[in-house]
Structure 1
Amino acid sequence: MQLPYSPSFARRTTLFLRLLATAAFAIASSAAAVPLPTTAALDAEVARAMEATGARGLAIAVIDDGRVQQVRAYGQRNERGDPLQTDTVMYGASLTKAVFGYTVMRLVDEGVLDLDRPIAERLAKPLPDYPDEEKYAPWSGLAGDERWRQLTPRMLLTHSAGFSNFAFLEPDGRLRIHFEPGTRYAYSGEGLILLQFVLERGLGIDLGEATQRRVFDRFAMPNSGLRWRPDFARNLADGWRADGSVEPHDERGRVRVSGSMDTTIADFANFAAAYVRGDGLSTRSRAELVKPQLPITTASQFPTLQAELPLAQRYPQLAAGLGVVVFDGPQGRGFMKGGHNDSTGNTLVCLEQRRRCVAILANDVRAEAAFPALVHFVLGETGAPWRWEYGDMPFWTPSPRQQGEK
């Protein structure tokens, strides 16, 4: 017998099915969670990873339910063989972008900034008319392309301005817009530098001071900063390149929100825990940070300007957040951010449901090959997009026995 159609019945049925689906997803996510490893098991797994990759130094932090549970450091901080410690100052690289995203959302909550207000409204004159300065980027390259007026803080934080990573990578060294702003993701440190410029030159905000007060002081990060401090030299990590040669720590004297942060694993663990809890932010602003803002459509993060994949070949549920990338996996929503240079490998991977994170700072770029296995060892299968993050890097894969040890 066919029942008569009732709009109210249909709405109730739809609601019931949504609730059922939500409950089923929660049960599945709960089943996928794994117990966290003991400190002894973590130490052993890191030792195996460092031996397999040749990495000379690595530090790791584990966060559970938004609280720091383990902070460990292994190996050496320099060629002399001084030990890497949990308060050793290390280069944060592009983890700086996650800190900047948080700082921006604090400014949004304070009413200083609107994510969707064009930056042109915040500047005293057209962007290309500002002189090129070493601290920022050569804005003069945008002369004649009025699309810069469309740019908003949201576009800059989601890497959708249309820029390459940096202007110096362009054949002629001039900054340009390669696609319609806001339409696709293409990693760009220059986009974040533009937002820094707008905040500093347009609104008169000192980003070094603003971040110090809103992040480093608030979350007990005494050995962190966006510019070099002489006291960092007391306990400082140099780095190792892929060929095993040593690279001295760069004393970065200029604030660059794309990647000038120095920090320690103890400090950054406090930030990661506060970030996953949403401390200091409104509920809305915390949600904006890790909301899928824009689909990511490329096979890998680099090179920045590459062809978009057909829909069927893209990483499912991979999107830009604000300073992080967002993904869905067997344990629900997660987000991550990496950091890299010739002698540094860093990563942060967090799972929203249990507010769990793994943060890794390595002063040896060779350690990156072990990041997927180490994160899996702590958190289980997350769905983190490692191949998108690192391309065709040959990852270290421990034996099944080692993978199962806790």
Structure 2
Amino acid sequence: MIRIALAAAVALAASSASAAVPAKRAAQIDAAVARAMTATRAEGLALAVIEDGQVAYVKSYGKRNAAGAPLEPQTVMYGASLTKAVFAYTVMQLAEEGVIDLDASIATYLDKPLTDYPNEDKYGPWRDLAGDERWRALTPRILLSHGSGFANFAFLEPDEKLRFHFDPGSRYAYSGEGLILLQFVLERGLGLDVGREMQRRVFDRFGMTDTSMIWRPDFASNLADGWDLQGKTEPHDERGRVRAAGSMDTTIADFARFAAGYVRGEGLSPKGRAELVRPQRPITTASQFPTLQPELPPAERRADLAAGLGLVVFDGPQGPGFFKTGHNDTTGNVWMCVERGRRCVVMLANDVRAEAAFPALAKLVLGETGAPWKWEYGDLTFWDGR
């Protein structure tokens, strides 16, 4: 009875969708999402389909808050680490304009040594690196491809001190701190305002009117709260600081526009667009997290899995593909594309339990891609699609 009621609620709360996807296929997607939400107990999920670089389908399902207000295509949701891919796209524009060199030491752009800057709440504790000159080997490319050598964030260290765990550029280990450092270089070294640059170069370009790197009061009228693994609700965080690693708020309608423009290569030269999704750094671990786990023996590594710039690239039965996820205790997001046909699926969930359904739903939309789901989500038990 509970499952029947939830499925009915999903159907009633779902938004209208584009006619670009044939009705039969749209019905298949809707039915699969209803089954997924019932099986995972997820309260809210939004999905978009990109075909040949154009938005073909946008639909939202379920609730945006505990009061039962419907999740809509214009509901503001937390973008989480999808922010990193948008930031990398912005940095690539700057690189193509000659503002920054992806392979120059960050020292090139600072007016004093990194470790001489005071620790600030907005940025990382750079003074923790005093006495370790390896920071001079860091480049924008190394930071965007998660080769910094840092933990994900300094506050996750036992003593909350930032340190190098390996020489910069020598291996992959996911680090939001590395993206924050590149933001610092752009802002303190080059005098740029990263929030304004992303607004101008991305959000305005693609008509993303309900997307921002910081909280806007007008978001409050149509805002998604979140559900955690235990089904507890948490209010949406009103983020007041631009954080290149993950402060973006967006909507499924807006992010679908970005995904379509990105896969078309809009705003970049063909060379710049290709560089974003070129394998930059081999991924050598059994899973994404924990970030500093030992590397696998070479024979056990997935040879096609690598870091691009701000995202992960892989090769599968349909050829090259790429993806980026976003996650916190109440958020599960994924954006995945296959280059052939310029096809993508975007899923934003304000209930972290929905992540278990992502592989099956992505396969329904895109077919088998060969995406490294177990590497990304570790021991998560995935919904089987039934």
If the TM-score is normalised by the length of the shorter chain, which range does it land in? over 0.9
Q: Which amino acid aligns with 2:268?
A: L
For residues 242-270 of structure 1, the C-alpha deviation after alignment (integer angstroms, 9 at most, x for no partner) is 00000100000100010000000000000
Question: CA separation in 2, counterparts of 1:90 and 1:37?
Answer: 28
- 1:318 positional shift: 0.2
- Aligned to 1:42, the other structure's residue is in SS state helix
Question: CA separation in 1, counterparts of 2:243 and 2:98?
Answer: 23
Give 1:158's match in structure 2, choosing from 130, 140, 145: 145
For residues 218-247 of structure 1, the C-alpha deviation after alignment (integer angstroms, 9 at most, x for no partner) is 001000010111011110000000000001
- Aligned to 1:335, the other structure's residue is in SS state strand
* Alignment map for 1:315-326 (pairs within 5 Å): 315-326=302-313
- Tell me what 1:287 maps to: 274
Change in Cα spacing, 1:316 to 1:145, as seen in structure 2 (3 Å) is same
- Aligned to 1:72, the other structure's residue is in SS state strand
Normalising by structure 2, we get a TM-score of 0.94
Give 2:114's match in structure 1, choosing from 127, 134, 153: 127
For residues 184-226 of structure 1, the C-alpha deviation after alignment (integer angstroms, 9 at most, x for no partner) is 0000000000000000000000000000000000001000010
Question: CA separation in 2, counterparts of 1:78 and 1:340?
Answer: 18
- 1:110 positional shift: 1.4
- Tell me what 1:25 maps to: none
For residues 257-304 of structure 1, the C-alpha deviation after alignment (integer angstroms, 9 at most, x for no partner) is 100000000000000000001000011110110000010000000001
Q: Which amino acid aligns with 1:293?
A: Q
- 1:36 positional shift: 10
- Tell me what 1:208 maps to: 195
Q: Structure 1: any 5+ residue segments left out of the alignment?
A: 1-34, 400-406
Change in Cα spacing, 1:357 to 1:37, as seen in structure 2 (3 Å) is farther
Change in Cα spacing, 1:89 to 1:190, as seen in structure 2 (3 Å) is same
- Aligned to 1:69, the other structure's residue is in SS state strand
- Work out whether 1:243 is the aligned partner of 2:230: yes
- Work out whether 1:90 is the aligned partner of 2:59: no
- Tell me what 1:313 maps to: 300
Q: Which amino acid aligns with 2:214?
A: R
Q: Which amino acid aligns with 2:77?
A: M
- Tell me what 1:261 maps to: 248
Question: CA separation in 1, counterparts of 2:87 and 2:336?
Answer: 17
- Tell me what 1:182 maps to: 169
Question: CA separation in 2, counterparts of 1:398 and 1:146?
Answer: 51
Aligned length: 365
Tell which structure's C-alpha radius of gyration is larger.
1
Normalising by structure 1, we get a TM-score of 0.89
- Tell me what 1:225 maps to: 212
Question: CA separation in 2, counterparts of 1:81 and 1:244?
Answer: 14
For residues 162-192 of structure 1, the C-alpha deviation after alignment (integer angstroms, 9 at most, x for no partner) is 0000000111111101111101000000000
Question: CA separation in 2, counterparts of 1:320 and 1:346?
Answer: 18
Q: Which amino acid aligns with 2:95?
A: V
Percent identity for Structure 1 against Structure 2: 71
- Tell me what 1:5 maps to: none
Change in Cα spacing, 1:227 to 1:196, as seen in structure 2 (3 Å) is same
- Work out whether 1:104 is the aligned partner of 2:91: yes
Question: CA separation in 2, counterparts of 1:220 and 1:260?
Answer: 19
- Tell me what 2:327 maps to: 340
Give 1:59's match in structure 2, choosing from 36, 46, 51: 46
- Aligned to 1:132, the other structure's residue is in SS state coil
- Contact 2:62 2:71 (C-alpha < 8 Å) held by counterparts: yes
Q: Which amino acid aligns with 1:67?
A: Q
Question: CA separation in 2, counterparts of 1:238 and 1:169?
Answer: 25
Question: CA separation in 1, counterparts of 2:84 and 2:322?
Answer: 13
Structure 1 segments (4+ residues) deviating >4 Å:
none
- Contact 1:36 1:378 (C-alpha < 8 Å) held by counterparts: no
- 1:316 positional shift: 2.8
Question: CA separation in 2, counterparts of 1:398 and 1:261?
Answer: 30
- 1:37 positional shift: 6.5
- Aligned to 1:348, the other structure's residue is in SS state strand
- Tell me what 2:61 maps to: 74
Q: Which amino acid aligns with 1:357?
A: C
Question: CA separation in 2, counterparts of 1:76 and 1:272?
Answer: 24
- Contact 1:74 1:83 (C-alpha < 8 Å) held by counterparts: yes
Question: CA separation in 2, counterparts of 1:398 and 1:173?
Answer: 41
Question: CA separation in 2, counterparts of 1:178 and 1:37?
Answer: 52
- Aligned to 1:326, the other structure's residue is in SS state strand
- Work out whether 1:276 is the aligned partner of 2:279: no
- Tell me what 1:351 maps to: 338
Question: CA separation in 2, counterparts of 1:295 and 1:169?
Answer: 24
For residues 85-112 of structure 1, the C-alpha deviation after alignment (integer angstroms, 9 at most, x for no partner) is 0000000000000100100001111110
For residues 36-61 of structure 1, the C-alpha deviation after alignment (integer angstroms, 9 at most, x for no partner) is 96111111110000000000000000
Change in Cα spacing, 1:258 to 1:338, as seen in structure 2 (3 Å) is same
- Tell me what 2:353 maps to: 366
- Contact 1:36 1:379 (C-alpha < 8 Å) held by counterparts: no
- Contact 2:76 2:210 (C-alpha < 8 Å) held by counterparts: yes
- Work out whether 1:388 is the aligned partner of 2:349: no
Question: CA separation in 1, counterparts of 2:78 and 2:302?
Answer: 30
Question: CA separation in 1, counterparts of 2:24 and 2:323?
Answer: 21
- Tell me what 2:17 maps to: none
Q: Which amino acid aligns with 1:166?
A: F
- Aligned to 2:68, the other structure's residue is in SS state coil
- 1:140 positional shift: 0.7
Question: CA separation in 2, counterparts of 1:119 and 1:38?
Answer: 49
